[in-house]
Amino acid sequence: MAITLSSGFKMPIIGLGVWRMQRADIRDLIINSIKLGYRHFDCAADYKNEFEVGQALSEAIDTGLVKREELFITTKLWNTDHGHVLEACKNSLKKLQLDYLDLYLVHFPVATKHTGIGVNGSPMDEDGVLDIDTTISLETTWRAMEDLVSKGLVRSIGISNYDVFLTRDCLAYAKVKPAVNQIETHPYFQRESLVKFCHKHGICVTAHTPLGGAEANKQRFGSVSCLDDPILQGIADKYDRSVAQIVLRWGIERNTAVIPKTSKFERLKENFQVLEFELDKEDMDLIKTVDRKYRTNQVSAKSWGIDLYA
C-alpha cells in the first residue's frame, strides 16, 4: 500500500522510524523489519544513527534480502546545516551507504548556527536559547534542496514541522513542489486544517508521531498518551486489536503515511498488521471527537528555550 508523491515516486504508507533507536539494536531491527515486509525507513542526521542504519541496509541488499529499488529511504537536513545543504546531504548518503535518497526533508523550519558537517546538535546562545541564524531564509534552503534533485542525489524533497503558513510560503517560491510535509499528528492532535491544506495542494502528509509518542514522550516531556484514551480502547476492543493498531489504521485511512517507532519485534509485527483491516466510518467519526489539539512532542518548548510554535 503506497502513496504516489507529486514527484511521481511511490512511498509506502507505513514505515519504520529510527528516532531513539539504540545503535546496538539497529541491525536486528532493520533486518527483521525487512523480513516482515517493511520497505520504508525514516532517518535523520540528528538521530545520530545513520551509519548503523547504513550498515544494516547494506547487509540486507548485499545478501539479496531486498533490492535497493524496493526500499524507500528518507533522511533529513538538520537545523545547523541550512547553509550547507549539499555537503550535509552527501554526508548522510555516505553514512547510509546509498547513491541516492528517496526523500530528503528540511527537518525543522529554522536555521541555527553551523557547528560543522556531521556535528548535529542544538547550539544555544549565552541566554540558553536556541542560537537561530537569521541570515539564511527558508527560501534559500529550499533552492539548495531543489539543486539536490537536479544533481540526482535525491528523488523527492519535502518539509517537516511546517504549519499552514510556512507550507503556503514554500509553495509560493518552490520550483519543485514539496512532496511531503512530515508533522506530528495523532488522535489527540489531528490538525485537520493543515492535513486538508496539504492534500489540497498535492503534498503528502506523514505522521512522525502517529501514536502520540506513547511512553517515550510521557517520560521525556510528561505528555499524556492517546493510547490510554477510553474511547480508543473501546474501538480496539470492538475490532479485537490493540489501541496502537487502531490509531495507526486511523492515520492510514485519513490518507497520511505513518512511521511508528519501536525496538520490539512483536510491536514491529503488530504495527505492520494494520494493513490487514479497515475501520468503519462510524469509528473514524468517533475518533474525530477525541481531538484535544494537544502537541506531545515538546522538544522546542522544553529543550530549546524558545517555543517555535507559539
Residue 171 lies in a domain: yes
Range of the domain at 186: 8-303
Return the pLDDT at 276: 96
The C-alpha atoms of residue 300 and residue 297 are separated, in whole angstroms, by 8
pLDDT digits (tens, 9 = 90+) for 235-286: 999 999 999 999 999 999 999 999 999 889 999 999 999 999 999 999 999 9
47 catalytic per annotation: yes
Residue 190 lies in a domain: yes
Give this prediction's pTM: 0.96
Averaged confidence pLDDT in the chain: 94
Residue 60 lies in a domain: yes
On whether the CB atoms of residues 300 and 307 are closer than 8 A, the answer is yes
The C-alpha atoms of residue 80 and residue 46 are separated, in whole angstroms, by 10
Residue 95 sits in a domain of what CATH number?
A: 3.20.20.100
Q: Which of 47, 104, 162, 188 is catalytic?
A: 47
Residue 187 lies in a domain: yes
Strands, E, within 148-230: which ranges? 154-160, 180-183, 204-207
Report how many domains make up the chain: 1
Residue 242 lies in a domain: yes
Residue 310 lies in a domain: no
**84 assigned ligand-binding residue:** no
| CA trace torsion 216, 218, 223, 226 (10° rounding) | 80
Sign of the torsion angle spanned by Cα atoms 62, 66, 68, 74 = negative
Residue 216 lies in a domain: yes
pLDDT digits (tens, 9 = 90+) for 24-34: 889 999 999 99
Residue 21 lies in a domain: yes
